[in-house]
């Protein structure tokens, strides 16, 4: 398993404050999401079999929120082109930094405080899938394409088809993954809630900066 984490939004409803850098329990949302991805990869493939994690967003900001150098052997920092052109474009940029066409890729948005629990449930559900199938979290009947594990090869094919049709920039993620065979994975209601507004943030104990 490899992973793509999306951290490149403009956070307009947070007044431009980057979601990835918000603190929950003294840890940034991005750091929590990376930790969730690493744990999921260890569970799925066994400790030591961990693949790459590609983080998509403003590279300098991402490095600061994680406290790492811009590039390392396992954690890769990239930005979609053009910058801030949406999650479908972000997935494409993240995949380009990963290796191979076999196996699967965990895709997570960085603004879900319960990403660790979601990723663990997705890994369990993946074990029941046939080869070439993935799983997508469903919270209260709402499908969450940015909380999913996709088969890597078919997702690459979907990205290339969208690129050829000029349908990546600001495109719907649902349209991008429509051709990828994905089963639903029901999660407890509210588990996949994300942080879009300061009201959402306060529910998770996150205060607006002074």
pLDDT in tens, 11-44: 777 887 888 888 888 888 999 999 999 999 988 7
Tell me, yes or no, whether 51 lies in a domain.
Answer: yes
The predicted-structure confidence for 47-83, as pLDDT tens digits, reads as follows 555 689 999 998 888 888 887 654 566 889 999 989 8
Q: Which domain holds residue 67?
A: 2-203
In a domain, 67, yes or no: yes
pTM of the model: 0.92
The reply to whether 209 falls in a domain is no
Flag whether 210 is in a domain: no
Number of structural domains found in the chain = 1
pLDDT of residue 70: 47
Q: Is residue 127 part of a domain?
A: yes
pLDDT of residue 10: 76
Q: What is the pLDDT of residues 97-154, one digit of tens each?
A: 998 899 999 999 999 999 999 999 999 999 999 999 999 999 999 999 999 999 999 9
Instruction: Using alpha carbons, list the distances in angstroms from residue 24 to 71, 180, 201.
Output: 25, 33, 9
Q: What is the pLDDT of residue 89?
A: 96
Answer with the residue of higher pLDDT: 200 or 105: 105
Q: What is the pLDDT of residue 205?
A: 83
Q: Determine contact, residues 132/181, Cβ cutoff 8 Å.
A: yes
The token pair that represents 84 in the structure block: 């801030």
What are the contacts of 163-166 at 24+ separation with CB within 8 A?
A: 163/92
Beta bridge partners of 186: 138
Asked if residue 191 has pLDDT above 90, the reply is: yes
CATH number assigned to the domain comprising residue 179: 3.90.550.10
Mean of the pLDDT values across residues 148-163? Answer: 97
């Amino acid at each position: 398993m490899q992973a793509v984490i999306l951290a490149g939004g403009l956070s307009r409803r947070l007044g431009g404050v980057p979601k990835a850098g918000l603190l929950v329990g003294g840890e940034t949302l991005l750091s929590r999401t990376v930790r969730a991805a690493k744990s999921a990869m260890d569970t799925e493939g066994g400790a030591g079999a961990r693949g790459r994690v590609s983080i998509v967003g403003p590279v300098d900001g991402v490095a600061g929120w994680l406290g790492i150098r811009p590039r390392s052997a396992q954690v890769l920092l990239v930005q979609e082109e053009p910058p801030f052109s949406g999650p479908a474009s972000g997935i494409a940029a993240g995949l380009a930094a990963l290796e191979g066409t076999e196996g699967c890729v965990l895709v997570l948005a960085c603004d879900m405080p319960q990403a660790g629990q979601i990723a663990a449930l997705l890994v369990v559900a993946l074990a029941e899938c046939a080869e070439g199938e993935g799983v997508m979290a469903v919270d209260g009947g709402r499908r969450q394409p940015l909380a999913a594990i996709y088969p890597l090869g078919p997702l690459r094919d979907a990205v290339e088809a969208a690129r050829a049709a000029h349908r990546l920039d600001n495109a719907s993620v649902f349209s991008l993954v429509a051709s990828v065979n994905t089963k639903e994975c029901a999660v407890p209601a509210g588990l996949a809630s994300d942080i879009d507004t300061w009201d959402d943030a306060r529910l998770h104990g996150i205060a607006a900066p002074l």
